[in-house]
Structure 1
Amino acid sequence: MRKRIAVIGSSGGNLYNLGGKDPTKLLGEIISQMESAGVEPAAIQYIGAQSSMDMAGESTPAAVYAWDGDSKQIITVHEGTLGSCNQYAAQLDAGIAEQIRSEEIDGLIVMSADPQKANQQAIQAAVDKQLPIAGTGGTSMAMIAARGAKIILTSGTTGTTNRTRAISFLTAFGKHWGISYRPMIGDAKKAAEMSHQPWRRIQVRGIMMSSLPGFIALALVLALSKIPGLSMLGDVFDVLIKALPVVIAAVAAKQVSDMEEVSVVAGVLAGVLSIDGGIIGGMLGGIGAGLFVNLLFRKCIEWRFPTTTVNIIAGGISGLAAGLIVYYLLAPIALQAGEWVKVLIEGAVAYSPVLAGLVAGLLIWPAIIGGVYHAAILPIVLLEMEKTGNSFLGAVDMVGLVMVSAGITLANIVAPREKSEAALATPGFLINMGFGTFVEAAYPFMFSNKIVFAGAIISSGVAGMLVGFFDVRGTAYVPSIMAPLLSNNMAGFILAMASGLIGSFLITLAANKLGKKRVKHVEEQM
């Protein structure tokens, strides 16, 4: 038989500011961790007020949440004033107490409960049956312990999050019952595999993509600093460059451990200590912090540390440990690795800028179609931007991918082979021009017509060649009108962008007309 746990309590005082004000999310995290542990939710009685219980009164708006065993969902069973919710909760309390006495409940999770009123009967039944209890809320847990309850985990709420509390509860129950439990983090199907192999959560592509807004902010500040009267923003640019490893580290730690705020704190600490290693150093520090968070969190729970202390150790010590490793050992190596990549790009451009641009333009479409772009090219773009705020390959991205995709979609708006294709092409054109992304909008037209496909690569190659000829450095992922402002050569970038758009537009236009003629010829022969 699977163990069954009931959850009782309220949004509390301090808990209200640490997840309690969003009952569905708080309780949902507990249910998710129960599923991962192979435990069933038996009942829920949770009072969620619209303000901290420290300041709430009888007239404060509130709601009562319960568990619907049939639909397997958390439901709202009563809404009204806090006073009426307390009265309604007393009915659920009696029902849970009866389930405990009937041995239909094997354990109790308590969060900011009221052992004297709203939760009196359930807690007394748990004491009588010596049910294992895990909970948070210093005052309420002290009162419950004083009654002789069987406490397997107790802690305050300070420094905790929905996820870390839920994992703490289920870890305590797992250890008490001898159940094998691995925390559920992210997708349920992958959670079990990845918990045994944490390295599988390391996704360089995902880290880079999530950190991209920081680099675009850097490029914006660089452009603004060139405007007369705004030269003081040059100092802001210097500060942002130093902050980029911190951004990368925070994102990396969050993705590797996904322990909410705890992992973010660890990542920021590691990132601050990894600044000298550049963005590669920041990534290494963040990855290390994420791995340490998981390890230390699990160990501290096993050692029965209070949840607040667990979070402090997991967030603080993990960040420091990973950061110090980068600071003293890996920073010079990471910085040099980044320099080698930039030297390689600069060397190729210096040897023959036109040839470098042509080759980059010709290869960038096969790279993105083959899945290489985000894994290899985007990190290089960000490494270039780390020093100068714009990039040679970033400029090729804009002229060879974004503008070419815009040209293909524009041609299918102006003169589509079929009327339905105009509706398909319009959103893609607008997004490419307005936001500098969504090059995949051209795929349906490229894959259905070899001439359009070849035209995309040729147009990209010509545009990339002009990027090299004018020695342009720029970026994509920004509105096309703004892109030239963020480059080092506005006129050259505009010409290169125009060549990519016009070239792909004309070739696609011609391909569509040929396609129409072939269709008409076939129809005449039939």
Structure 2
Amino acid sequence: MNRQIAIIGSSGGNLYNLGGRDPLKLLDEILVQMESAGLSCGALQFIAAQVSMDAAKDSTPAALYGWNSSQGEPVIIAEGTLQQVNQAAERLDREIAEQIELGEIDGLIVMSADPEGSNRHAIEAAAKFRLPVTGTGGTSMAIIQTKGAYVIAASGTTGTTNRTRAVTFATSLSKHWRLPYRPVIGNAAASIHAAAGSSSPWRRINIRGIMMASLPGFIGMALILAVSKIPGLSALTEVFDLMIKALPVIVAVIAAKQVSELDEVSIVAGIVAGVLSVEGGIIGGIIGGIGAGIIVHYIFRQCVEWRFPATTVNIVAGGVSGLIAGLLVYFLIAPIALSAGEGIRMLIETLVSWSPAIAGLIAGLLIWPAIIGGVYHAAILPIVLLEMETTSNSFLGAVDMVGLVMVSAGITLANIIAPRDKGEAAVAAPGFAINMGFGTFVEAAYPFMFSNKFVFAGAIASAGLGGMLVGIFGVRGTAYVPSFIGPITSNNTVGFLVSMAASMLCSFLITFFVNKLSGYREAKNTLSM
């Protein structure tokens, strides 16, 4: 009998822009990959809101997806306001917890869950019976770890896609149980949903989602720049120049694919539009890609209605759509788009030039509230990528590394060395490793920040210190790379190292002494009793 997996979570905040807004397509991809790994769905509880959870309210329309075992597919079991759906989700949460208690569930896949609310009972039951848990969602996965759950793989959501998440889930579970698994490249079910044209392409336009999905291309460019600085490899500078020119193509392809959701056809349209949009920079690429995605959607449907042969449909939809959108950008929009990108970069540079130290301090002090409040992915990350378009590094990218990644690393390291209780060290260790090794998953510090106001204040102060040093040293850098690579990709290796070390040391010392003081007080209270 196949291993039975419970899929729980929600359309999320950041996840909403990376697949969460289309629950059926997201779930279809997971189910296809699970089937390839010999896994079966035993339970499902997925809350789908019509907006990002970062902006959702109790009155936001939402739906609850459950699992229909007889039909073998996800079905909507409740609809209404988010508040009403959450109430239904809590009842389903108890049912899944009972299934776990009865041994009917073997593992959990988690996406942007609410371990303190609508997923509490399932998470606690999974922790009790040591079920393997894999999932995404920085904040939720960090809290799940603090509850003692057996997390075999965890990550944030930025930069992921439905397929990469699904493959990661299936891979981690199959490795845990030593099951044979080969990722499925095609997803017939998802293709059916896309071709059906169930929603307007205009509703799928999301600049934030396009920029975040394009992030690997920008990081690749930064890595090439770093390697080109090694003696004997200066020839890679030409490769770096070529990659800068390719960035509009990358964002155009992502935009076209996300807007049209027609996979290979939209990719071809995006490439054609992107090549013609190069002179407009990444803003031109985004406009060209969005245009290609919208046009390919309608041309594809029209060609199908005209009963064109499938090959002709792909050729016309992909090629013609890309040409129309690309030529519009090439002849009309490129100069305006290029000027807009230059204007944003000049604005950042002007603000920083007035007072680098104060600009860095303010950016550092605000970056934790920004990511906690959902502003980071909506505003800061796109600006970082615009800055990186010409030089592969940015002012806000450097603040990201020192203010978020290094501060999180300092907090988690302090909880490894001097935890308030032994369980916290086990929770902190994976987060510290990911912070240092991959330059991401800053949410690993959340459990410690939210449980102690002094650690929280220390995180903000440490980020402010690091940001101020970034301004003083005039550093331009990036996050989302291993910590030892970050300084190499920057314009000031020594300055970036000092800034990173200072913010990490500051957050480490504050957390260390707060933990020691808490332990001393607890011991004193115990003796007095």
Aligning the two structures, in what range does the TM-score lie when normalised by the shorter sequence? 0.5 to 0.7
> What's 1:185 paired with?
194
Give the corresponding residue for 1:17.
none
Out of 426, 451, 454, the residue aligned to residue 454 of structure 2 is 451
Conserved in 2, the CA contact under 8 Å of 1:164 and 1:259? Answer: no
* Shift, 1:525, TM fit: 4.9
Q: 1:366 aligns with which of 366, 369, 376?
A: 369
Question: Which of 204, 207, 223 is the equivalent residue of 1:204?
Answer: 207
User: CA shift at 1:222, angstroms?
Assistant: 1.3
Which residue of the partner structure matches residue 10 of structure 2?
none
Q: Which amino acid aligns with 1:185?
A: A
Give CA deviations for 1:239-269 in whole Å, capped at 9, x if unaligned: 1100000011111111111211111101111
Aligned residues: 354
Q: Residues 380-436 of structure 1: CA distance to partner in whole angstroms, max 9, x if unpaired?
A: 111111111111111111111000000000000000111100000000000000011
Closer/same/farther in 2, CA of residues 510 and 201 from structure 1, 3 Å limit: same
How far 1:327 sits from its partner (Å)?
1.1
CA drift of 1:70 comes to 6.2
Q: For 1:163 and 1:277, locate their aligned partners in 2 and report how far apart those are by CA, in whole Å.
A: 34
Equivalent residue for 1:308, pick from 297, 311, 330: 311
What CA deviation, in whole Å up to 9, does each residue of 1:38-93 have, x standing for no partner? xxxxxxxxxxxxxxxxxxxxxxxxxxxxxxx96659xxxxxxxxxxxxxxxxxxxx
Correspondence for 1:512 among 496, 512, 515: 515
CA contact (8 A) 1:360 1:393 kept: yes
For 1:447 and 1:463, locate their aligned partners in 2 and report how far apart those are by CA, in whole Å: 21
The 8 Å contact of residues 32 and 187 in structure 2, kept in 1 or not, is answered as no
Q: Aligned partners of 1:396 and 1:320: how far apart in 2?
A: 39
Change in 2 beyond 3 A, CA 1:447/1:274? same
- Measured after TM superposition, the shift of residue 523 of structure 1 is 3.4
Structure 1 spans left out of the alignment, 5+ residues: 1-23, 29-68, 74-160, 168-182
The structure 1 residue matched to 2:322, chosen from 319, 323, 326, is 319
Q: Can you list the C-alpha shifts for 1:192-245, whole angstroms capped at 9, x where unaligned?
A: 8xx343222122222112211111111112122222322222211111100000
Per the alignment, in what secondary structure is the counterpart of residue 185 of structure 1?
Answer: helix
| Post-superposition CA distance 1:111-139 (Å, at most 9, x none) | xxxxxxxxxxxxxxxxxxxxxxxxxxxxx
Code of the residue aligned with 2:526 in structure 1: it is E
Q: Aligned partner of 2:379: which letter?
A: A
Q: Following the alignment from structure 2 to structure 1, what is the Cα–Cα distance between the partners of residues 325 and 528? A: 73
Distance 1:165 1:315, change over 3 A: farther
Distance 1:502 1:165 in 2: 50
Structure 2 Cα separation of the partners of residues 70 and 368 of structure 1: 42
Shift of 1:503: 0.2
CA contact (8 A) 1:165 1:307 kept: no
Distance 1:474 1:354 in 2: 16
Do the aligned partners of 2:420 and 2:515 also contact (CA within 8 Å) in 1? yes
C-alpha change, 1:258 and 1:525, in structure 2 (3 Å) is same
Q: Which residue of 2 aligns with 1:354?
A: 357
Query: For 2:189 and 2:501, how far apart are their aligned partners in 1?
Result: 55
Cα distance between partner residues in 2 of 1:451 and 1:166:
47
**1:233-244 alignment, distance < 5 Å:** 233-244=236-247
The equivalent residue for 2:229 is 226
Contact 1:218 1:237 in 2 (8 A): yes
How far residue 489 of structure 1 moved from its aligned partner, in angstroms, is: 0.8
What residue in structure 1 maps to residue 11 of structure 2? none
Instruction: Please give the alpha-carbon distance, in whole angstroms, between the structure 2 residues aligned to 1:466 and 1:447.
Output: 26
Per-residue displacement from partner, 1:129-176 (whole Å, max 9, x unpaired)? xxxxxxxxxxxxxxxxxxxxxxxxxxxxxxxx9789997xxxxxxxxx
- 1:460 corresponds in structure 2 to 463
Mapping of residues 103-122 of structure 1, within 5 Å: none
Cα contact 1:412–1:422 (8 A) shared by 2:
yes
**Structure 1 pair 411–293 and aligned structure 2 pair: CA distance change class (3 A):** same
Aligned equivalent of 1:433: 436
Equivalent residue runs for 1:261-340 within 5 Å: 261-340=264-343
Instruction: Quote how far apart the aligned CAs of 1:333 are.
Output: 1.5
Q: Which residue of 1 aligns with 2:400?
A: 397
Q: Report the AA paired with residue 259 of structure 1.
A: L
Note closer, same or farther for the CA distance 1:333–1:163 as it changes in structure 2 (3 Å cut): farther
d(CA) in 2 for partners of 1:380, 1:241: 16
Q: What is the aligned counterpart of 1:408 among 387, 401, 411?
A: 411
Asked whether the equivalents of residues 201 and 293 of structure 2 are also in contact (C-alpha less than 8 Å), the reply is: no
**TM, length-normalised to structure 1:** 0.64
CA–CA distance in structure 2, aligned partners of residues 288 and 184 of structure 1:
21
Contact conserved, 2:361 with 2:468, CA < 8 A, in 1? yes
What CA deviation, in whole Å up to 9, does each residue of 1:486-519 have, x standing for no partner? 1111111100000110000000111112222333
Q: Which residue of 2 aligns with 1:385?
A: 388
Q: How far apart, CA to CA, are the structure 2 residues paired with 1:185 and 1:522?
A: 62
Cα separation, 2, equivalents of 1:506 and 1:295: 58
Q: Is the 8 A contact 1:164 1:311 kept in 2?
A: no
2:490 aligns to what? Answer: 487
Match of 1:178 in 2: none
| Partners of 1:164 and 1:450 in 2: CA distance | 49
Q: Is the 8 A contact 2:222 2:392 kept in 1?
A: yes
Aligned partner of residue 184 in structure 1, secondary structure:
helix
Whole-angstrom distance in 2 between the partners of 1:206 and 1:431: 23
User: Does the aligned pair in 2 maintain the 1:163–1:259 contact within 8 Å?
Assistant: no
Which one-letter code corresponds to 2:329 in the other structure?
Answer: V
Aligned equivalents of 2:312, 2:408: Cα separation in 1 = 53
Letter of the 2:289 partner, please give it: G
Identify the structure with bigger relative contact order (alpha carbons < 8 Å, sequence gap 6+): 2
Structure 2 CA distance, aligned partners of 1:251 and 1:285? Answer: 11
**What is the identity, as a one-letter code, of the residue corresponding to 1:246?**
V
RMSD: 2.4
Aligned equivalents of 1:337, 1:305: Cα separation in 2: 41
Superposition map of 1:52-67 within 5 A: none
Change in Cα spacing, 1:70 to 1:469, as seen in structure 2 (3 Å) is: closer
Matched residue SS, 2:194: coil
Residue identity in the other structure for 1:245: P
Partner secondary structure for residue 359 of structure 2: helix
Specify the SS of the correspondent of 2:251: helix
Answer yes or no: is 1:421 the counterpart of 2:424.
yes
Q: Secondary structure at the match of 2:381?
A: helix
